A and B are shown apart, each in its own frame.
Chain A
Amino acid sequence: MDAMDISDILREFDAENAPSNSKDYEDLLKWWVNERAAPEILQYQDDLVERIMNRVRRQIEHIEDQTGNLDPRANFQLIIIQTELERVKFLIRSYLRTRIAKIDKHALHILSTPTLRHLLSPSEQTYLKTHQALLNELYLSSFLKNFPENLRRLDDSAGGISMVEEPDLDSAVFLRVVRDVDIEIAWEGGETVPMRAGDVYVIRYSAVKEAVKKGEVELI
């Protein structure tokens, strides 16, 4: 019984001093889910991804060093380390691919809006520009060249309909409240929704956009 009490105390102690590693991982999970659920592209989590990628690199080096180790105990630890590595790699890949899918979908919109362009990482910006240049070239050489001059544009807004696809910021999102926050909703004549930690809501993205960025709510 005594032993259990001590381990309980130790556990509490550990929880208080939770290593920043687990914080980073939880943040990555959170931003991955946010990115999946938000209709628009969010700020690239530069430092966070960088820190995690550094750890991934170190872990791979560690695995390479230890692969020759024939001690069964070390071998077993290595299996655990590799399993975890695969989980983290999946997370990062899915995070980046979600962003790329959004960049592809709203390419011209992001390109023409500087504030959105700054949300992208340098490599995402390069991707966006070169991919669009390639697409333009392809369209032009395959069919646009046969069109009359005034119909060749890809960002035409003639007839009241813009060719540039923009994300629907009013689309419904599902969220869970992290910290108490009052959300003002414009479409109800300025009504305020008091959201309490742990609550689950369905609401238009535009109303909670800022709260997502501040981490007051997380999308699900």
Chain B
Amino acid sequence: MALPHQHLTPQEVAFICESELITIVPRQRLGSLNLISIDTRPLVPPQRADVPLWLAVFLRKQKRCNVVPPDWLTVDNLERLVKEESDSPAFSKMPWRWMEVAEILLDTCAEDLISPSEIALHIRSLRELRQAKIRASLPGEINSSYINMNNLGLMEVCEVRPWVGKVVDGLRKIEGEAGSAAVRKRRKEGDDDDEDEDMEEDY
């Protein structure tokens, strides 16, 4: 168990993700289960059912089900997203847990995905593009007041948290009240840029 005074570890982020529901097509019958977190319906092939991701992975390992990948995890859609990500300076809209879900599904049930190697490739390009954007844009965004990080996924936020949190705290202590007025001024000047970004996010 991670020490409780630390921020969420990547393993814990994955743990949270495993509680999300995902659709499966069972291959075998399984009676309904009264679990603590959910009462599952009886699994009857070939009727689709929604189960927590950890259960889907478990059943998949035993070849008792096939996982139905989420809509966004297809080659076509990812290709579109990669293009969008490289064309626009803003972050394109991704599901909140896109990295975790993609990682877990590619890891455990690649055969249920259509052309998994291409999907893995696109996921990696997306990740690299976005990481580069974070590295390029975040240092300019940082101030002691507040930072908007819309469209970043949970895992991405957790990756930058250790240093962003420390820098923001440090800035606040250095700047004090005088500094925060300067930030406000800076933000007013940058208003035009902000509007452009909003337009792109709305596409």
Q: Which residues of chain A have a CB within 8 Å of any CB of chain B?
A: 3-4, 7-8, 11, 14-15, 19, 21-22, 24-26, 29, 33, 36-37, 52, 55-56, 59, 73, 76-77, 80-81, 83-85, 87-88, 90, 93-94, 97-98, 100-101, 105, 168, 170-174, 176, 185, 187-189, 191, 193, 198-204, 207, 220
Contacts and interface: CB of A to CB of B under 8 A. Distances in A.
B83 to A, nearest CB: 23
Contacts of B18: 87
Instruction: Kindly list the 5 A-B residue pairs having the minimum CB-CB distance in the complex, ordered from nearest.
Output: A25-B37, A98-B4, A172-B168, A203-B146, A202-B147
Contacts of A170: 172
Contacts of A172: 164-165, 168-169, 172
B185 to A, nearest CB: 11
A172 to B, nearest CB: 4
A80 B33 contact: yes
28 contacts: A7-B47, A7-B48, A14-B41, A19-B38, A21-B36, A21-B38, A22-B37, A52-B36, A80-B33, A84-B55, A87-B15, A87-B18, A87-B37, A94-B1, A97-B4, A98-B5, A101-B3, A168-B169, A170-B172, A172-B165, A187-B177, A198-B150, A199-B150, A200-B149, A200-B157, A202-B164, A204-B172, A207-B146
Interface residues of B, number: 53
A19 B39 CA distance: 7
A114 to B, nearest CB: 25
A205 to B, nearest CB: 11
B154 A220 contact: yes
A47 B177 CA distance: 42
Interface in B1-52: 1-5, 7-8, 12, 15-16, 18-19, 23, 30-31, 33, 35-39, 41, 46-50
A220 B19 contact: no
Given A29-B19, A101-B4, A201 B149 contact: yes
Contacts of B2: 94
A32 to B, nearest CB: 9
Contact of A193 (B5, B39, B146, B150): B146
Interface of B: 1-5, 7-8, 12, 15-16, 18-19, 23, 30-31, 33, 35-39, 41, 46-50, 54-55, 58, 96, 145-152, 154, 157-158, 161, 164-165, 168-169, 172, 177, 180-181, 183-184
Nearest to A53: B36
A100 B3 CA distance: 11
Contacts of B148: 199-201
A36 to B, nearest CB: 6
B157 A87 contact: no
B75 to A, nearest CB: 23
Contact of A25 (B36, B49, B96, B183): B36
A126 B49 CA distance: 46
Contact of B8 (A33, A101, A168, A204): A33
A11 B23 CA distance: 10
A36 B15 CA distance: 15
Contacts of A7: 47-49
A77 B125 CA distance: 40
B6 to A, nearest CB: 8
Nearest to B2: A94
Nearest to A200: B149
A93 B39 contact: no
Contacts of B145: 185, 187-188, 203
Given A170-B172, A201-B146, A25 B38 contact: yes
B165 A59 contact: no
Nearest to B146: A203
Contact of B157 (A19, A55, A220): A220
